[in-house]
């Protein structure tokens, strides 16, 4: 009888955790009628949010990145990002493969070797784009990240607010978000 009560209590707790998680994180939409050709070109990474402990440790020293988005022959994107690391400019490329509906992609992390999903949540193609990524780095290590891309190094306040609102809907606490300062050393094109 005691084992049965323990089992029931465990199931109730699991259900409660599931309800809390579903309330904390809104479903991630994809940009309706996403047009990949309009998404191409130069973007600045203006804002980030993540549940990663690494991100929280490093966010104070992070600065704006420059990303060039180019099409791949088989579909998807090659995103080449230049960023400042230890006072040196580094460049990395990420290959996003189509994964389902337009605006949905997957990629393999060169660092972790894990597969992640990425969605273009919203974009107007001219000023901003909101992206969301998730995956698992290892057992019990879920990774989630939201990104604000801007065509300008000085995104408008309403775009920052849109990003903050989206991040809160995804359950990111305030201390898991950052708006990245300009870094003229590695940004090839100024406003």
Residue 151 and residue 159 in contact, taking contact as beta carbons nearer than 8 Å: no
Residues 6+ away with beta carbon under 8 Å from 64: 44, 45, 46, 153, 180, 181, 182, 183, 187
Residues 6+ away with beta carbon under 8 Å from 26: 169, 170
Residue 159 and residue 148 in contact, taking contact as beta carbons nearer than 8 Å: yes
Active-site choice (8, 65, 167, 186) = 65
Catalytic, 65? Answer yes
In the beta sheet, which residues pair with residue 131?
120, 147
Helix (H, G, I), strand (E, B) or coil at 99: coil
Length of the chain: 191
Which residues are designated catalytic? 65
């Amino acid at each position: 009888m005691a084992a049965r009560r323990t089992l029931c209590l465990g199931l109730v707790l699991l259900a409660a955790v599931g309800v809390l998680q579903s309330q904390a994180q809104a479903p991630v939409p994809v940009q309706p009628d996403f047009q990949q050709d309009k998404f191409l070109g130069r973007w600045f990474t203006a804002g980030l949010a993540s549940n990663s402990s690494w991100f929280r440790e490093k966010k104070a020293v992070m600065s704006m990145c420059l990303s060039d988005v180019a099409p791949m022959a088989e579909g998807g994107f090659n995103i080449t990002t230049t960023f400042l690391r230890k006072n040196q400019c580094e460049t990395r490329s990420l290959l996003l493969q189509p994964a389902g509906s337009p605006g949905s992609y997957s990629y393999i992390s060169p660092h972790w070797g894990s597969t992640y999903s990425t969605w273009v949540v919203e974009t107007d193609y001219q000023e901003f784009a909101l992206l969301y990524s998730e995956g698992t780095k290892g057992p019990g290590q879920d990774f989630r990240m939201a990104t604000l891309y801007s065509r300008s190094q000085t995104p408008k306040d309403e775009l920052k607010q849109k990003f903050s609102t989206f991040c809160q809907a995804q359950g990111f606490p305030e201390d898991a978000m950052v708006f990245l300062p300009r870094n003229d050393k590695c940004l090839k094109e100024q406003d």
